[in-house]
Amino acid sequence: QEGPLGRKHDVEGSGKKSSNRSWNNLYCVLKPGQLSAYKDAKSFGHGATYHGEEPLALAGAHWEVLTNYKKKKHVFKLRLGDGSEYLFQCKDEEELQRWSQAMHTA
Ligand code: I3P
């Protein structure tokens, strides 16, 4: 599964609020056990991740759809094994379903 998603880094691994809290539109690519982010599909083609960041390791990660999140729609939260948390926004319900299913099996 791959495609554009909004992403916000909400909580650092240390448990404190992340300092850069803005939403970024990123091209996200899910492979078994890892979620990588690229600036766009072209960067993905070149294998250059967003800001050179490492893929997020999904071992021990927990994922949930934020049905009560008021600020934005179609948002899911990913909490990694190290305690850091990211919010992801899909463009519509169909995309949310698609990502949900993919995250479930990743
Ligand atoms: C953040 C940006 C985010 C917002 C976040 C702000 O400011 O406006 O959209 O999250 O609020 O800190 P900046 O772009 O200057 O980093 P929401 O869209 O979820 O409100 P927060 O700090 O309350 O998470």
ipTM exceeds 0.90: no
Two tokens, residue 20: 């850069």
Beta-carbon contacts of residue 66 (< 8 Å; ≥ 6 apart): 75, 76, 77, 87
Q: Please provide the average confidence, as pLDDT, over all residues in the chain.
A: 97
d(CA 73, CA 15): 25
Query: Residue 54 is which amino acid?
Result: E
Ligand 1 atom index nearest CA of 20 = 16
The residue whose CB lies within 8 Å of the most ligand 1 atoms, and thus the one to mutate among 22, 70, 85, is 22
Ligand 1 centroid, distance to 7 Cα (angstroms): 11
Cα-based angle 36, 39, 45 (whole degrees, multiple of 5): 75
Ligand 1 centroid, distance to 55 Cα (angstroms): 23
Q: If you compute the radius of gyration of the chain from its CA atoms, what whole number of angstroms results?
A: 13
Q: What is the pLDDT of residues 59-90, one digit of tens each?
A: 999 999 999 999 999 999 999 999 999 999 99
78 and 57 in contact (C-beta within 8 Å)? no
Give percent above pLDDT 90 in the chain.
Answer: 97
Pocket residues: Cβ below 6 A from ligand 1: 8, 21-23, 71
Torsion from C-alpha of 20, 101, 30, 59, nearest 10 degrees: 80
